[in-house]
Amino acid sequence: MNALIIGGGGDGIGRAVSRAFAAAGAAVAVADLDPERSGEATDELVSSGLRAVALAGDVRSPSAIDGFVSQSVAAFGRLDTLVTVVGGQVAFVPAMRLHEMSDDDWDLAYEMNLRYVVRAARAAIRAFLAQGGGGSIVSVGSVTGVMAAPMQAGYGAAKAGLASLAKTVAAEYAADAIRMNVVACGAIATAAAKSAHVDGEVPEIPMRRLGAPRDAAAAAVYLASPLSSYVTGQSLVVDGGVTVRGPFAV
């Protein structure tokens, strides 16, 4: 399997996804805004005897997105999997109520969580079809796509759109053996979560802990692999039980 991981150089979920795919035997193209991050991630994998290439560019640039896909195909001969990891709200837009959001705030949340994924999926699908069909797209989403997102309206709406996009891609391209699924994450122990002082035991989560980046990465590998060959258009929730919690304390 040859995989392009957009955002695969990040210290949290991105790096965990890159490691997990490489450990599963995939050749990995790690794309990141920061060339140092993508270089560090690939150096780590190559030093372990794995196959990886580093790519750099801004996901807000359509030409960069197209370049990620074309360079991955050139490096490996074909592309089998696209994983999109870049996203979030507080990293781009401060938490605020809807009436406080400007159009620019909303547009940036949309750009970094949905629009670039549309571009990347479009480019990957073209590559898959040119290869004769077959391929998998996995996007890291959020439980805010299926439940309320107070103080993060733009982020939540974009993640809901991501879930809808996966369903549409699944329906349109099933006959071409192209699948798309979403890993809908709850609270994951990334640097952003730790900086918000969300650490240790978390009573609001039934499992009483934050998820580890590897939890999200394992779900992404599953959705990209033949183990999920009959799964498409779905959102696999990885949240420690938050979305199934009852209204009363247990």
Residue 199, pLDDT score: 57
Query: Average of pLDDT values for 64-79?
Result: 97
pLDDT (tens digit, 9 = 90+) per residue, 149-188?
899 999 999 999 999 999 999 999 999 999 999 999 998 9
By CB neighbour count within 10 A (0-12 exposed, 13-18 middle, 19+ buried), where does 249 fall?
A: exposed
Give me the helix-helix angle, 116-130 and 62-76, nearest 10°. Answer: 30
And the tokens for 103? 């159009």
Answer yes or no: 155 catalytic: yes
Residue of 116, 155, 173, 222 with catalytic role: 155
pLDDT of 56 above 90? yes
Residue among 120, 119, 68, 85 nearest 8 (CA): 85
**CATH for the stretch 2-238:** 3.40.50.720
Residues 107-148: pLDDT tens digits? 999 999 999 999 999 999 999 999 999 999 999 999 999 898
Answer left, alpha or beta for residue 88, where phi above 0 means left and psi between -120 and 50 means alpha. left
